[in-house]
Structure formats: structure tokens, C-alpha cells
Structure 1
């Protein structure tokens, strides 16, 4: 990292700028830190390039598409501002070196590492191509190395930037020596162009030289189009697939999916790089993570005063006044169905304006228990508000059942967004459904507040994350390990996007600033050899086992780990705070320590009035995330009341929500004004499983 230049900003959006990571013809890449402490790489575009209206249009489109790329081996866009004088975008920060820097410092990679590199980059390109993009600049400098795999950067964005200023015919877009023949000739390119570039990158990784030599650009371009690649020094075991990637005819090159399937067995569980590169990554990670302290974040409460939730439960008769009275089902084609449920045969008194709140949730699929908990918490909060004599307006609820399916989510959200009476939405209860829906919410300017989804890729101008992100929720786990002086941490990743977010920053932090030894391992969903993988983990004698991944794999791993006889500390992330984990793991789940962003309203003193009211209305104890949905509803209500307008709109509400602090029954709420991320050091709670039940331990790792 280099010091900031005289013209570099000290802040971009809500990010504090720490230094320069690089510079190019169109702008600079800066290292930033969010108010919550997350490091990001910020690409800041020079203002002169942003004056072109076509640039902004393409930039918006590409940023939107890039958010949809779902792969652990591509760096995701987490924030962007396409409308400011100097547009910028922020991606997750990877502290390791580029492939170009690593090979320059330590020499070519061994054949096994190159095969693994090819498998993981093929997976990244498969996701990029699946999102409708062509990278067009796959080169060693755009591949960052980490201990758990490479990260492809600048996907989709290079296209937007280059298309804006390079509009003349016969212009070459890409990096000579790593571009395809069709790029060299200025012809249209497709996914096969990236495969050719991947072949060049793998040849470079194996030999340290470009397969079409060096020299003037014109000579490189000529050899790329007309001459065969020089692969004489490429190990024989790698040559056939690299040659296939470097076919002159795009139609003869394998697809990324084919390469991924061919090399799948070469995707390693750990230790995919030689020791010299691993040491280089560790050095750079430690240097980059030893940065200035996080600045305290103060939420702006000017828009509305912090409000305590109602402390007096309503009588049962009053609570039942606005119970749901009707259900209507509308077919939308195929298997997609959108379900509306209204509170509304007994309408609130007409003397008051009526606002609509939306709920997007999985009410009929695998996450139905959580979706219904959301709905119950929301309906209780709305009933409490509508029973107030001093209310300025009344609420009605419209629900959209997405079944946890991205396709159904897209159609459901379009219908929610089309109803101008809906001023805000709470949801979704599934990460994939949330991601699929964001574009429609953004286009409609309709705020969506999520109490469950902490995927940082989903943050944009209308998204509000009412909980710490997937990565940030692991900080209390790091504190717990330190307080108990635990080392040799077996860190298990299930190879899902969620698992990557949970484990990557956590592992790097433990290595770089905690000085601990990490024993990485991967257990993909439905792994047929899970028992053998669990034995391999235990054979390394870990001081603690931390699992970051989805609930189904967590349960299977817990059973496999139990068979080994391991009885050391076992810790899992929020995905395991799900009734399916103890149900599927059985006795093997007992003793596991979990972190979750859901409080236990039965144990939290601040939630006692809510618990009494919930039991009165539903005749059962409140489930996980009902209290958070209840809080979210009162937060939205508070902001709508603070506007002092008879009929506030969705466009009025969005900026107010981002500037509001609110003390809920589960946690305090405040948001980063620029990207809607959760602000605060609280909001993560510990649980331990005993006799198949989750026992609440509080938020202090020192008392666990």
C-alpha cells in the first residue's frame, strides 16, 4: 500500500480512506475501512470520464450485474455510487498478492497448484458468464491469491470502463499477451475469449513467461492471432487442457463449466499453494491488517428521536381486532405463485390515512418457520400501533410468499413494488431470494429492511441490514478464542458463498492480528466422504473447531465429528441457529456453541412485554427472529411518524430510515447512511445446545 496523494480524498461515502492500492489511466484504487471495521478496495473514477452519459448508463448496468455474481472465487461489489461527480465502487478487500506479484517474487507455481488454480478460476468464470458478463481482462494482475483460493477481480467492471472511452474501430481492449485472437483483431467477444485468457494465465503461472512471448504490442498481437502458443516448458500433465483453452477458434475451446467439471477433483481442501507463496500471503495479510484503529461511528438521530417500544401489552380483545381475515392467491405462470394476505375485512377507521407495509418471506418452503416468525412479529407490532388513539395513520400488511426461490422472489417483488401504497418492505427470509429481488426494489425506490440477510453484496441505496454482516458476526468468536487462549483452530468452510463470507475475514484476522494457527478444511454440501474429512480434521489435533457454513452441512459434519470422539470446543455460525441443526444432528449437536444475530426474547429482560403480548396473541412462545421483525416494524413506524406528513411515501421514508437510531427490544439499530449496513458493536449473541435445545448465553464472550 502507498500513502495517499495530495489529490486523494480522505473519505469516500462512509469509508475512511487509508492509502493507495494502485492507479491507472481512469482512476485510482484506494483502501478504505467502513464504520463497522470492514476493509474494502475502492475504485475511484476520474470525473472527466464520468461526464459521458453513456459511461454512467453502462457503469450502472455493470455494477448491478456484478452484484449478482455468486462465487467464492470472485471478489464481490459491496457498495457503489454511480451518480456522484467521481463515481466509485467498493469491493471486498483481499490482502494477499496478485498472481503476477507472487510469481515474480517466488517463481512459477508447481503443477498441482496450477491445476487447483485452474479449477477455482474456472468456477469464477462460470459464475461470471452465468450472470451474462464477459470479463475481457483475465490476467495475472487481476487474480489475487488467498490461502483458501484465488479471487478474480474487476469482473464486469472493466467492460463498462473500457467501452466508454474506447469506441473507435480496431481498438484492442485487454492486456496484450493475455487477450484472445478475437480481442486482438477487434472482433466481438464472448465467454470463449475469457477461456483463452485463462489458458494464458495458467501457462504464465506454470512457467513465469507469456505463451506468446514479449516485445512490441504489435508483435504480441500478431503472434496471438497467427502463431501457436509456446508451451514447451509447461509441464506435460498440464499441456492438453491449456492447449485446448488456447485454440484459435472460439468454438473449439472448452466452456468454463466444462473446465470446472474436469478439474473439480483438483480443488483442494487446503494447502493449495507452495510454502513460499503461503508465507508471502501471510506477510502481506499481517501488514495490511495492522492498520489504524476504527473510528467511532455516531448515528445521526436528527431525523427522529430514539423511541422506546411500547412497554404495556395490549389486551387480547384489542390485539385480535386486526387479525388476518382473507387470503387471495394469484397465478403468475408456471410454478410461480404470489400470495396476498390482508388484515382487512375489518379495516382500520377511515378517519386516519392507511399505509401499507410489505413482507417478502418464505412462507411455504424450507425456510417457512423463519418466514412465519417474521410475519407474527410484524402483525403484533402493527396491531399495537393501530390500537393507539394518538396514531397519525393506520397500517395494513401485504405479504409476498417467495417460497425461498429466487425466480418466485423476482415476480413477487415486482408486484410489491408496483403497489404505490406500500412504503417499505421487511424481508426476505432467504439470501438467494433477497439477492434476486434487489434490482426490482432499487428500480422502484422501495426500501427493504432485512433482519436476517447479512450478505454484504446486497447493500445498495434501498437496502437496510438490521444485523451485523455475515463476516462481522464472527468477531465475538475471535474474542472468545482469545479469552480462552485457544490456538490451532480448525476452520471449516462448506464452499458456499455464505461459508466464504463467514470464514475468510475471520481466518485472516486470526492469523494476522491474533497470531493464531489456522487449520483450514473444506466440506462441501453432500460430501460423500464427510466421515473421512472429519477424521482428517481431528488428526491435526485442533484446539477448537469452527464451522462456517449452511445448516444441512453443519448437521452432517457434527455427526461425523462426534464419531471421531472429539470433545474440544465446537463452534458454528448463525446458519446453525436453526431447529433443523439439532433435529438432524441429534445427540451430536449437544455442546456446540453458536453465534446468532437473533436474541432470545424469553431471556432478554427488555423483551418481556413483547413475550407476554406474543403469548397472548399466538398462545406460544416467540420463535427466533420474531422479536427482530417486531423491532423492524416499530422502527419503520417511528420514521413514518417523524415525517409529520398525512401520507408519507416510500421515497420520503428511505433517507429518514438511514439517519435514524432506534432502541429495540432485541438490540439498538443504526445504519451507515451510504450503504445501509448495520452500525454497532452489539447485535451478536451466543447459544449453546443442550438436550437438543438452544440455551441463550448472552452477548459477552467473557461470560460464555
Structure 2
């Protein structure tokens, strides 16, 4: 458990909040104690998601259904408020560790433990399905371990979130590596989907490995749909039964009743069902709950959230706000300073930070002190900008750097700032060796609080190890592969696979008459794009035809003629701008004049220039905004023009936003001092509306959450910004 953040409520309903159990793109999970002394886990949904009326309706329905689930191994919903500004539900708290944490700490479970785990989870899922629910997110993180058996959690919310939020796994609810093929393909799901996920969980518990591997989300989803599971050295009846659970055909999987019958004899060992190291881990967690503080009389607000008015409530010795409301923590001097800084952030200004140890807020105005003495010298925060400033990515990196410079200049010009901001640019040339040397130097520099990375894929991989060891945040708006995810890496842009979300929506909208041809140019990037598109289109829509366009002129010309011969309704090219420019010319030469699509690797002026008239009409999606055309970037564009004397280039708005995101992150710490290691954690909990897009992240892996993908159309040798949707007349 971690301490509450200043923005967290002190009370939710009749529950006093004690700490944080976790957080993610949808909201926060809090540990709380009821007025009767019982501990509960409260899932608090972010208000912006609750603004969707359809979400409210589903949430009401699913909470009502979840309350009907009665099973010892399914953690029950004990309270909820579906009408609150931030809806919430409370479940019984289980102090034991989650299965994924347990396997990471103690290794794979022995087969008798796996059999008991399977029996109890099958019983829990049977109760969930009987209540008319499909869990949709059976994963190790949703399985808690207790001395008498496991507990399944989160069955009261997964379905309500479906169709409300598109997560980093594309238009699916669940966790990559534990999804069923029908979930991965975006098709309707039923109880067999939960059985498949249960098979993945049990295979993980027995082997310590995910049966469909790791890596980029799109690759995991593709393997889930098309590849056989890797069950390693599992043998005998356990392997046979898990193989049936993991059948691609949902009708071939066993039911929860069949699983219960297969493992009926495992229940006899449930009292001592776990090995010693796991039992010890559970005991440590349970003992930790004994040190939680009791509920004490305090100042509790009555009225709207954030009100300054407070009253002392000690009737019966147990204060709590009226049912259905919740209030913020006690308002002290630190909160006053935090509100002042938040006001600066509302204007796109303000940043605080730390070096290797602790940087203290000085809490004073730049205009002087109360007694007229000279103000103390401002503390300085350094953000390093490690980039390929002299190699192939120089133009992209330079655009980001110049945008970041505008953010720094605006911050340091504010008279009420509590610190100065320093931006340190370091060129690694896109070289892996040089990137590693630069990273070692910056990782050990106590003045550097975070790093913005704008370099080559090879250099990005090389720089991760030093920053990971130093526990220093690395943020990127350049790398979209998702292959470098770890504990310190945060992607301030959608991963490459999520570029396909608006394209898939367009291709399945009924606007395309004819098959869709997916063209792979042989590059790794193109392979990921075309496989992700094929997975996204599996759920229905037009016929999908995969094609390859690689080799010399003769091979490419033959491929273009073959593709045109399919009479496609649309062609999606998966490669970069150079191969796309050649392909566009050959496709036009072959007589095809229909819809052509590409992704961010084609969003380069050189594509339109090289392809000439052949590129006209192509639609390209990109995670980079056009600061001159996007309404949200108007103020930034004016500031950039004033600072640099010219319009902002591509990536400038994103470079500006990265600084503002880090600012909001540090502000969220809301404490008198900040340790740079906290930035890693809080950055992933930060939500910020920037000039280019809204930024939010998955806490567990640092992936970008939300939209952030824009359409462009090529016309007269240039890219025309269309925004987040394609106009009807295109």
C-alpha cells in the first residue's frame, strides 16, 4: 500500500480512505476502513469516464448483477454509488498478494497448488456466469491469494467499461496475454472467453511464463489469435486440460462445471494449498494490516468536493461525511501552495523537480519576502533532452527540442515561479554505443530529474538500462514500438498498433466497397502494422487480402498489378515513406485510383514530394498534430512564433507538451519536498490536456491511454490536417 495523494479523497461514502492500492487509466483503487472497522478496497472511477451516459447505465446494471454473485472465492461487492460524480464500488479487502506478484517473488507454483487454484477459480467463475456476468479480465493481477484459497476480484466492472474506453490493447477490454482470441479480435464474448483466460492464468502459475509470450501488444494479440500456446514442460492431465481451455474454437473449451469435476479432488488440500514461501508472503501482508491507524476524529468537509468550509464531526467518535459524498484531505499550508501552483499549471506554466536526492520548495514569490529582504535564490530543475540531433532523426528531434525550449522560456518568465527550469540537450547521434555512454552520464547526474528521449530505436534500447538502474524517468513522443517498456519508461504517444484504431473504424464503417488489401514492404514496422490491421479486422467487415511489395522494380511492379487486380475497396500500405512513394507511383500506373491509407512512418514531407501526383488523395494517420491547424494548439503556435520567429514544425507541440506533462506530474506530488524516484510513479498517474492532445498513461506499463491519432490527406504535394475524424466528403 502507498500513501494517499493530495488529490485523493479522505472519505468515500462511509469509508475512511487509508492509502492507495493501485491506479490506472480508469481510476484509482483505495484501501479504506468502514465505520464498523471492516477494511474494503474501493475502485474510484475517474469523473471524465463517468460523463458518458452509456457508461452510467452499464455501471448500474453490472454493479446490481455483481451484488448477486455469492461465492466464497469471488470477492463480493459490499457497497457502491453509481450516481456519484466519480462512481465507485467497494469490495471486501483481501490482504494477500496477487498471483503475478507472487510468481515474480517466489517462482511458479507446484502442480497441486495449480490444481486447487483452478478448482476455486472455476467455482468463482461459475458463480459470476450464473449471475449473468462475463468477467472479461481474468488475469494474475485479479487473483489474490489467501491461506484458505484464492479470491477472484474485479468482476463487477469489466463489462461496464466495454465500449466506453479504448485501452492500449485497441478496442478490447482486458489484458494482453490473458485475453481470449475473440476478445483480441474484438468479437462478442461469453463464458468460454473467461475459460480461455483462466487457462492462461493457470499456465502462467504453473510455468512462470505467459503462454503467448510478451513484447509489443499487437504481437501478443496476433499470437493469441493465430499461434498455439507455449506450455513449456507441463505434462500429463494438467497439460491436456489447459490445452483444451486454450482452444481457439470457443465451443471446444470445457465449461466451468467440467473444470470443477476434473479438479474435484484438489479441494481436500485447500487448507495447506500453497508452498511455504508463498504462505510466508501472505503472512507478512496480513501482519502489515495490523499497523493501520484507527479512524480518528478530524475535520471533515460537508458540501461540494474541494470546499474550503470544514466542520469537526465527532459524534459517536466516528466522523464521516453524508452518504454518497467524499471530501479531500485536510487543507493545510501545503495544500494552499499546491493550489497556487495548480493555477499556474492551468496556463501551461509551472514545474518543480528534484536532483538525485531532494529538492525543496522555497514557497515564496519572486517579488521578494514579507520583510522586504532579497528573496532566496531559486532552485533549478534540469530536464535532459537526449536526442539524435545530428543523424537521420535530426529534424524530428530538433522540432521537439524547439517546442520544449518554448515551454522552458514561458516557465522561467513567470514572476511567481518557485524554481527555475533548465533544459539540457545532448546529442547521441542515434548511435547505440553513444546513447549508452550519454545515459550513464545523465543517470548519475543528481541535477537531472527526468529525460526526454528523441533518438533512434537502437539508441533508445541502449539508453534504458542506465536510467532503469538510477530509477530516472524516460519519456518519449518518438518511439511507438512499445518494445522498450519497463518500470521507468513512459510513452507520451499512442503505440504504433493504436494508429490502426481509426483506420479499422473507417474500414468497417460500411464506407468501403470491396476487399481491403494489406501491403507489407518487408520491414519490421510494416509487419507489425499489417498484422495489427489484420487482427483488428477479424471481427467483421470487408474481406482482407494480405500482399507483399518488396524486391526490385520488376517485383514491385508485379505486386502493384496484382493488388489492382483484386479491385480493392481500400489499400493499406504498412511501410515507410520511401517505399510508399515508389509503391504509390506503381499502384497509380497499374490503374488503381481508390482509397489508399498509410501510417505515421509515411507522415513525412518527402513522401508527398517524391510520389508527386501519385500521392494525391492518400489518407495518412499520425500521432503528430499540426500545430498550425489544430485549434487546441493555437496558443502554443503563437508562443512559438514569438519565441523563434517562425511557425512551429512537426513535433514542436509534442515537445512542448512533454515539459508540461512533467510539470503536472511533479505538481501532483503535492509535498514540501520531492524525491526524483517518485516522478516515475506519479508520471503514470498524471492526466494533462496539452496543446497536441490529452495525455494519460497505464500505470503498470507506461503506455499512452486515449486517442491522440490524427488524419491527414495528401493534396498538391503537402499534408492537409483533417483532425481526429475523416470528413464525410472524403
1:36 maps onto 2:168 in alignment:
yes
For residues 531-562 of structure 1, give each alpha carbon's deviation from its aligned partner in whole angstroms, at most 9, with x where no partner exists.
22211211221111111122222222122222
Corresponding residue of 1:579:
605
3-state SS in 2 of match to 1:639 = helix
3-state SS in 2 of match to 1:424 = strand
Q: Cα 1:313–1:412, aligned 2, differ >3 Å: closer, same or farther?
A: closer
3-state SS in 2 of match to 1:655 = helix
Are 1:488 and 1:519, in contact at CA under 8 Å, matched by a contact in 2? yes
Distance 2:655 2:611 in 1: 28
1:436 maps onto 2:462 in alignment:
yes
The TM-score with structure 2 as length reference comes to 0.54
Where structure 1 has 5 or more consecutive residues not aligned to the other structure, the ranges are 21-26, 64-73, 80-89, 100-140, 143-153, 159-172, 177-280, 289-300, 315-348
3-state SS in 1 of match to 2:137 = strand
What is the aligned length?
Answer: 441
Distance 1:570 1:4 in 2: 48
Deviation of 1:520 after TM superposition, in Å, equals 0.6
Distance 2:719 2:252 in 1: 39
Corresponding residue of 2:479:
453
Q: Cα 1:461–1:285, aligned 2, differ >3 Å: closer, same or farther?
A: farther
1:615 maps onto 2:641 in alignment:
yes
Q: Cα 1:361–1:312, aligned 2, differ >3 Å: closer, same or farther?
A: closer
Q: Cα 1:419–1:524, aligned 2, differ >3 Å: closer, same or farther?
A: farther
1:520 maps onto 2:583 in alignment:
no
Deviation of 1:18 after TM superposition, in Å, equals 4.2
Corresponding residue of 2:42:
none
Are 1:95 and 1:285, in contact at CA under 8 Å, matched by a contact in 2? no
1:77 maps onto 2:103 in alignment:
no
1:495 maps onto 2:624 in alignment:
no
For residues 494-528 of structure 1, give each alpha carbon's deviation from its aligned partner in whole angstroms, at most 9, with x where no partner exists.
23222222221221221x21232111112347776
Deviation of 1:35 after TM superposition, in Å, equals 3.6
Q: Cα 1:174–1:282, aligned 2, differ >3 Å: closer, same or farther?
A: closer
Deviation of 1:390 after TM superposition, in Å, equals 1.8
Are 2:626 and 2:721, in contact at CA under 8 Å, matched by a contact in 1? yes
Deviation of 1:19 after TM superposition, in Å, equals 7.6
Are 1:286 and 1:513, in contact at CA under 8 Å, matched by a contact in 2? no
Corresponding residue of 1:6:
120
Are 1:313 and 1:612, in contact at CA under 8 Å, matched by a contact in 2? no
Equivalent in 490, 497, 503 of residue 464 of structure 1:
490
Distance 2:343 2:704 in 1: 18
Distance 1:566 1:404 in 2: 38
Distance 1:96 1:46 in 2: 17
Distance 1:627 1:286 in 2: 50
For residues 14-38 of structure 1, give each alpha carbon's deviation from its aligned partner in whole angstroms, at most 9, with x where no partner exists.
x962489xxxxxx9xxxx9994344
3-state SS in 2 of match to 1:531 = helix
For residues 161-186 of structure 1, give each alpha carbon's deviation from its aligned partner in whole angstroms, at most 9, with x where no partner exists.
xxxxxxxxxxxx8999xxxxxxxxxx
Q: Cα 1:367–1:48, aligned 2, differ >3 Å: closer, same or farther?
A: closer
1:505 maps onto 2:532 in alignment:
yes
Q: Cα 1:76–1:553, aligned 2, differ >3 Å: closer, same or farther?
A: farther
Give RMSD over aligned pairs.
4.2
Corresponding residue of 2:137:
17
Equivalent in 684, 687, 693 of residue 712 of structure 2:
687
1:604 maps onto 2:630 in alignment:
yes
Q: Cα 1:40–1:312, aligned 2, differ >3 Å: closer, same or farther?
A: closer
Distance 2:590 2:204 in 1: 60
Equivalent in 624, 642, 646 of residue 650 of structure 2:
624
Are 1:358 and 1:416, in contact at CA under 8 Å, matched by a contact in 2? yes
Corresponding residue of 1:570:
596
Corresponding residue of 2:223:
94
Aligned pairs for 1:286-365 (under 5 A) are 351-365=377-391
Corresponding residue of 2:75:
none
Distance 1:282 1:555 in 2: 42
Corresponding residue of 1:594:
620
For residues 633-682 of structure 1, give each alpha carbon's deviation from its aligned partner in whole angstroms, at most 9, with x where no partner exists.
011022223435566342021111111111111111111111111111x2
Distance 1:313 1:637 in 2: 8
Where structure 2 has 5 or more consecutive residues not aligned to the other structure, the ranges are 1-116, 126-134, 141-149, 151-157, 179-199, 237-245, 254-327, 330-334, 351-374
Deviation of 1:570 after TM superposition, in Å, equals 0.7
Distance 1:400 1:673 in 2: 28
Are 1:525 and 1:552, in contact at CA under 8 Å, matched by a contact in 2? no
For residues 363-412 of structure 1, give each alpha carbon's deviation from its aligned partner in whole angstroms, at most 9, with x where no partner exists.
11111110000100111101111111222221111222222233332222
1:539 maps onto 2:565 in alignment:
yes
